[in-house]
């Protein structure tokens, strides 16, 4: 039975008339033998992919067999910088669709520009692949819905890259909060600060010979190539990116939501804009304060400062959770417990989040990525509970989308907490989805 695919088992038992009750209680059935490896393809070979490659190399029962990017220059840089992570040279592809057709590939890791995240993840699950998708999991709210629906329909493991969910100390802090260590929690603040420079006014130039610009754009409506978009600044353009609140805020907003034990909000407001630099092509916000109100008055605030690196609590990023008996400050390095006056009572550091496969003392984000990836592998092979399953992780992405819509329209959004839908605002709901390039429409 251990070698029978779970989907085959469900189909067989359904045909035999055993009923849904039996299926609900059926044990997890792995299609992998004890020592068999999960073969994963890494798609999108920019900076984040380097950490994913290292994590795969340090995890048990997984190997990166294929890599993929539409830019030959990015591919060459990746290969040069990650040689130590591969015992055998991976097979290189430019078109990810060839990977989805390959029966030897069990899973994919998506570290592409954000407009590709949900479409690629959906296509992969339709092709029978498990998916590790970096945050944010979608470019818009409709894609969020479709991605969750696709995971349910195709029954594949889908983990979002909210790596702090795999932190030992963050899990300990959340347990302490649940046990009433700081009383009733009611307010969380998430922040990120950086000193990003301006991106200038882009000039239309010929597409580099190393880049397949058409495939890079994929599902996005077509634009001419210009010199300030690729390989990083797409983050700040609405056609491809989702701004700083998604690029970094997704992480800490997720931690606050986890700590306050909340799902969808009732109301969302946001203020800010492109304030630090004003004469360039950056379309999102370098300064943003987004506020989310939930049932029972619980509140989360996101403070994003892309161009002013002043660090609250001497941390460039983090989350702080307030309760009736105390406060907990969390980041990727650990957490601090304080009393109501802000006096430190306890401090816990993330010393070695590694896995049984890791002999290195990896701390910080690299270590969390290893642990998060191992959880993904264990879920595929052993049915281990995911730390950031897409049905839950997508809610944090949902909040970020609402923050951007509230900011763009400069309105207070009323939200149905049962569905996450925006109420009484047709203009805001018109932002729910996007238009796609003909032939690239996303379907389930």
- Residue-wise pLDDT for 76-123, tens only, equals 999 999 999 999 999 999 999 999 999 999 999 999 999 999 999 999
Alpha carbon of 110 to those of 101, 116, 143, 232: distances in Å?
16, 8, 15, 16
Q: Which residues contact 274 (CB under 8 A, 6 or more apart)?
A: 282, 283, 284, 285, 286, 287
The residue assigned the tokens 């998060």 is 372
- What is the crossing angle of helices 47-58 and 364-382, to 10°? 60
Q: Which residues contact 20 (CB under 8 A, 6 or more apart)?
A: none
How much is the pLDDT for 33? Answer: 85
Q: Where does the pLDDT of residue 352 fall: very low under 50, low under 70, confident under 90, or very high at 90 and above?
A: low
- Mean pLDDT of all residues in 146-166: 98
Distance between CA atoms of 32 and 341, rounded to whole angstroms?
A: 53
Q: Domains in the chain, ordered, with CATH?
A: 6-164 (3.40.50.720), 168-207+224-353+392-429 (3.30.360.10)
CB 236 within 8 A of CB 199: yes
- Mean pLDDT of all residues in 49-65: 97
Structure pTM?
A: 0.92
- Mean pLDDT of all residues in 268-278: 97
How much is the pLDDT for 440? Answer: 97
Q: Where does the pLDDT of residue 30 fall: very low under 50, low under 70, confident under 90, or very high at 90 and above?
A: confident
pLDDT tens digit sequence for 353-410: 444 444 444 657 789 999 999 999 999 999 999 999 999 999 999 999 999 999 999 9
Q: Where does the pLDDT of residue 208 fall: very low under 50, low under 70, confident under 90, or very high at 90 and above?
A: very high
How much is the pLDDT for 370? Answer: 97
- Mean pLDDT of all residues in 58-72: 98
Q: Is 315 exposed, middle or buried (0-12, 13-18, 19+ CB in 10 A)?
A: middle
- Mean pLDDT of all residues in 225-247: 98
CB 247 within 8 A of CB 120: no
Mean pLDDT of the chain: 92
- Mean pLDDT of all residues in 300-318: 98
Does pLDDT of 24 surpass 60?
no
- Taken in order 272, 277, 278, 284, the sign of the CA dihedral is negative
């Amino acid at each position: 039975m251990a070698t029978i695919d779970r989907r085959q088992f469900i189909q067989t038992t359904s045909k035999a008339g055993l009923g849904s009750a039996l299926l609900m209680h059926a044990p997890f059935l792995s299609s992998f033998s004890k020592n068999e490896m999960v073969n994963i393809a890494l798609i999108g070979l920019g900076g984040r992919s380097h950490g994913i490659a290292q994590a795969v190399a340090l995890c048990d029962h997984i190997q990166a067999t294929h890599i993929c990017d539409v830019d030959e220059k990015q591919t060459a840089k990746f290969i040069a910088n990650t040689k130590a992570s591969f015992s055998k040279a991976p097979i290189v592809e430019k078109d990810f669709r060839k990977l989805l057709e390959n029966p030897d590939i069990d899973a994919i890791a998506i570290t592409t520009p954000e407009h590709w995240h949900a479409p690629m993840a959906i296509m992969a699950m339709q092709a029978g692949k498990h998916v590790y998708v970096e945050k944010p999991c979608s470019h818009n709210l409709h894609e969020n819905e479709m991605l969750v629906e696709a995971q349910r329909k195709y029954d594949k493991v889908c983990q979002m890259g909210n790596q702090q969910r795999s932190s030992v100390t963050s899990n300990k802090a959340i347990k302490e909060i649940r046990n009433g260590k700081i009383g009733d929690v009611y307010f969380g603040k998430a922040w990120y600060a950086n000193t990003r420079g301006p991106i200038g006014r882009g000039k239309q130039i010929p597409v580099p010979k190393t880049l397949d610009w058409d495939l890079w754009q994929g599902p996005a409506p077509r634009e001419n190539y210009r010199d300030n978009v690729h390989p990083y600044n797409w983050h700040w353009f609405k056609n491809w990116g989702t701004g700083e609140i998604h690029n970094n805020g997704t992480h800490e907003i997720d931690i606050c939501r986890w700590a306050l034990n909340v799902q969808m909000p009732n109301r969302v407001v946001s203020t800010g804009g492109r304030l630090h630099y004003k004469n360039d092509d950056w379309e999102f916000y370098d300064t943003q304060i987004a506020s989310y109100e939930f049932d029972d008055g619980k509140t989360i605030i996101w403070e994003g400062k892309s161009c002013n690196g002043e660090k609250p609590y001497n941390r460039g990023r983090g989350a702080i959770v307030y309760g009736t008996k105390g406060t907990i400050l969390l980041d990727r390095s650990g957490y601090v417990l304080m009393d109501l006056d802000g006096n430190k009572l306890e401090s816990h550091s993330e010393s070695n989040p590694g896995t049984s496969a890791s002999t290195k003392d990896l701390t910080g984000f690299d270590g969390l990525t290893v642990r998060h990836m191992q959880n993904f592998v264990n879920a595929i092979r052993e049915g281990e509970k995911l730390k950031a399953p897409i049905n839950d992780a997508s809610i944090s992405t949902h909040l970020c989308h609402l923050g951007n819509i509230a900011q763009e329209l400069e309105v207070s959004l009323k939200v149905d907490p049962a569905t996450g839908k925006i109420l009484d605002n047709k203009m805001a709901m018109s932002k729910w989805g996007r238009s796609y390039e003909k032939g690239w429409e996303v379907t389930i």
